[in-house]
Amino acid sequence: MSTGHSVELDSLFGDYPLDQAFDEMRQGSGDVRAQYRALAETLASLPPDELQRRKQSADLSFLTQGITFTVYGREEGTERIFPYDLLPRIVTAEEWDRIERGLTQRITALNLFLRDVYSDGKILNDRIIPRELVYSCKHYRRPMRGLQVPRNVYIAVVGSDLLRLNNGEFVVLEDNLRVPSGVSYMLTNRRVMKRTFPALFQSYGVRPIEHYPQVLLATLRSLAPEGRPEPNIVLLTPGVFNSAYFEHTYLARQMGIDLVEGRDLVTHDNIVYMRTTDGLKRVDVIYRRVDDDFSDPLIFRPDSSLGCAGLFNAYRAGNVTVANAFGTGLADDKAVYAYVPRMVRYYLNEDPILPNVETFLLSEEKDRRHVLSNLDKLVVKAVGESGGYGMLIGPHSTARQREEFARQIEANPRNYIAQPTLDFSRAPCLIGDRLEPRHVDLRPYILFGDKVNIVPGGLTRVALEKGSLVVNSSQGGGSKDTWVLE
Amino acid sequence: MLSRVADSLYWMSRYLERAENTVRQLDVTLSLMLDTGEVDLKARWQRMIAALGKPVGMDWNGSIESMSKSLVYDSLSPASVIYCLNGARENARQVREEISTEMWQRLNRLYHQMHSLHTQSQFTANTSDQLASVIDGIYLFKGTTDTSMIHGQGWQFIRLGRYLERAYSTATLLEVYQPDLFEAPSSESAGHLYLELVGLLRCCTSFEAYCQVYTADLSPDRILEFLLLNRDFPHAIHYCVDGAHQAIEGIQQTGGRRPPEELKAGIGKLSAMLRYTSISEIITGDTAGFLHTIREQCLRIHELIYRYYVHYSIQSALAV
């Protein structure tokens, strides 16, 4: 198959559209890219019903495993499986090498930035980043000022969202430095994929990702307080009603650590304990999946019962490590994001390997005027939000929505940024019994303890609705297994 | 083990045991209703409801089909099977990292089966099959539990919940049935009386086991002896109490602080009472009172478990 085509493949592709957007599987000419050729041959050789059968069996396996998430804003307790696309997204070794180096560089710089801002503030004194921008950030945490963080690691677990633009280059859309989720889907997708296409998987030489929980555990252990050689590590979850609860249980089980809720923890003399059937047991490291605001009612939101009263003081006393540290959301503020390339140059004296998406800061007069007159072409985002909430997608918006956003921008310009509407890459998905292209992003997971560790791959999220640009699971997105080749 | 986790495992297990008991009693009652004896439909239904602890909202309304269906599928009624299974799954979900994947999948499958609207709509036509398949699902879960989970503290809490719930519900069942057993109207035909006795045994899946010990010669005092005092049959109260006793010892062995003397004494006393009381003493004495004492002691043991393992005060724990 020198041209990569057969009659079967043509019928599978049907009128599969190709335009200026980068297609992960096919070149502009319609030829299948080299790394996708074996996959295309396998698909073409399967009887028509076989693909459907495998899809149903994969779906059923997600349901019985209880790999479901809760959708907010719908009927209480709506559990749905996270839609899963059968076809893998394939990343070549060269592409991955660049991503890995770029993310390592970026995370190192972001961590240095957090340390700097919460101690000396050199980058502010040198006027690389405006002081007001940092201090007005919703996620800036004053109590973190001057606090010594174990090994100076603020962000032990990061998930950065990458997009691939029309020229085939990867860019960073945002960094998730607070409590990034989705890694359990990465791991379960792989398990289901190995069962669905065993022979194909074997023939491809895919780099393994299954050791992620072990690396996470090692990362957490490396951050334990001094003098605790056998640290008691726990995962703190907001509880069963959190949309990522499945992931919390999954990771705790895979790491062999206790999954605790705020009500399991008590503090006494600045030491955190958990209540066990054998009495109180000291806690040394907390992998925190609860937002800053809800972690300690004495320091943060007083009306929250999800955290543990006294946790922050125990943390300040150095008796317990909390990962990620508090206040890391400062560095994933969407306005601070615009300055990350400058941080890389400032702290590391290197050029950024992975570029940013062009970003307009609405607090700047010139940018704001440009954005307000081009609202129909741009994407506007609230700086402190995540999960696809608080967004205006210009080309898909109504005049009324644009007016509403313009009003909000005028009222609080610091709260918004704008970016061009990106034509990011698409990958083929099985829709009905045909292949159709859908927009995809890539969220690799970066672990930072003794050193930076990135398991090869990550979660490829898919905007399953035709033409949609929103990949978030809370907004109807799905996912794919991501294969990084040897 | 986290106190909250122990609590959830214990209740997961109790809820499943309760669901199983309800299904079995309903199945037996429905089949007894086919043979119209002295006891009419309403009396049978009310007796079963009493044996289930007199849940509210389950009084006889004249339609056996709708009553049965709500006892199985009315998720708002705490007495229903589906309510118990929801409770078991919700508890399991909160300790998802403690139980094995196989256990979770098994329970999850049973949950989705119960919530299938198609299954629910077929209930009246397929009552007996559906009840059997719920019991099967619970058995599979128990088997999976015993084979796929570490037999550590968590497993002991599961056993503790199972045996305490079973001892309590069997004692309730016997308390409700025993007046009928000994004061059966003389007009009752031998055939019907036999069916009644078989029914009582089948409520505890113990008909065949009984026959192995006593032959098919059914008599009320022997049935009472078997269900109360047998030490080898898993549904007999004495066996359950011993099982709970072993589970508490197992919890202590894997723990290692504050020997709960009061708890050991509580369960030891109940076990000794069952061991050293003969059936003739029970029958000639206050039978109902004896059964009632068993229930009260079960409740007391439950409270002590909570006081020692779950809701202890921080001061008492720090003092050690």
Task: Find, among A122, A101, A129, A104, the residue nearest to A331 by Cα.
Answer: A129
| Amino acid A388: pLDDT | 64
Model pLDDT for residues A198-226, shown as the tens digit of each residue: 999 999 999 999 999 999 999 999 999 99
Share of chain A above pLDDT 70, in %: 93
User: What tens digit of pLDDT does each residue of A367-380 get?
Assistant: 889 998 898 889 89
Q: Are residues B204 and B287 in the same domain?
A: yes
Give A70's strand partners: A79
pTM above 0.80, yes or no: yes
Instruction: Compare CB distances from B105 to A65, A252, A275 and report the shortest one's residue.
Output: A65
pLDDT band of residue B36 (cuts 50, 70, 90) is low
Averaged pLDDT, A22-41: 91
A340 or A422, which is more confident?
A: A340
pLDDT of B216: 85
Query: Which of A250, A266, A276 has its CB closest to that of B2?
Result: A276
H-assigned helices in B95-204: 101-115, 117-121, 127-148, 153-182, 190-203
The answer to whether the beta carbons of residues B304 and B164 sit under 8 Å apart is no
Minimum mean pLDDT among A182-186, A231-235, B20-24: which range? A182-186
Residues of B whose CB is below 8 A from A274: 2
Residues 6+ apart with CB under 8 A from A394: A374, A375, A376, A377, A378, A379, A380, A402, A421
Q: Quick one: B97 and B201 in the same domain?
A: no
Distance of CA B284 to the CA centre of its chain: 27
User: Do B131 and B162 lie in a common domain?
Assistant: no
B64 and B208 within one domain: no
Non-local (6+) Cβ contacts of B278 within 8 A are none
Categorize the per-residue pLDDT at B74 as very low, low, confident or very high, splitting at 50, 70 and 90: very high
B306 and B224: one domain? yes
Considering the domain architecture, whether residues B90 and B216 belong to the same structural domain is answered as no
Supply B61's token pair. Answer: 């309304």
Position A306 scores a pLDDT of 87
What angle, 0 to 180 degrees and rounded to 10, lies between the N-to-C axes of helices B153-182 and B287-305? 160
Residues B194 and B266 placed together within one structural domain of the fold: yes
Both B127 and B159 in one domain: the answer is no
* Residues B83 and B190 grouped into a single domain: no
Q: How many structural domains is chain B composed of?
A: 2
What's residue A344's pLDDT?
97
B125 and B155 housed in the same domain: no
Same domain, residue pair B112 and B155: no
pLDDT digits (tens, 9 = 90+) for B126-173: 999 999 999 999 999 999 999 999 999 999 999 999 999 999 999 999
What percentage of chain B reaches a pLDDT higher than 70? 95
What chain A residue is nearest to B154 in terms of C-alpha separation? A277
Domain end point (choices B107, B122, B148)? B148
> Is A66 within 8 Å of B153 when comparing Cβ atoms?
no
B245 lies in the same domain as B315: yes
Tell if the CB–CB gap between A274 and B6 is shorter than 8 Å: no
Query: B85, B115, B148: which is the final residue of a domain?
Result: B148
Query: Could A64 and B258 be called an inter-chain contact, meaning their C-beta atoms sit closer than 8 Å?
Result: no
The pLDDT of residue B174 is 95
- Distance from CA of residue A425 to its chain's centroid? 17
Q: Is the pLDDT of residue A75 over 70?
A: no
Last residue of a domain, one of B100, B129, B148: B148
Q: Check CB contact under 8 Å for B2 and A65.
A: no
CB nearest B94 (choices: A240, A268, A274): A240
Q: d(Cα A193, Cα A7) in Å, to the nearest integer?
A: 26
Domain that holds residue B58: 1-148
Contact B251 A246 (CB under 8 A): no
Hey, what are B221's tokens?
């005092």
Q: Do B2 and A274 touch (CB under 8 A)?
A: yes
Min CA distance, B142 vs chain A (Å)?
Answer: 17
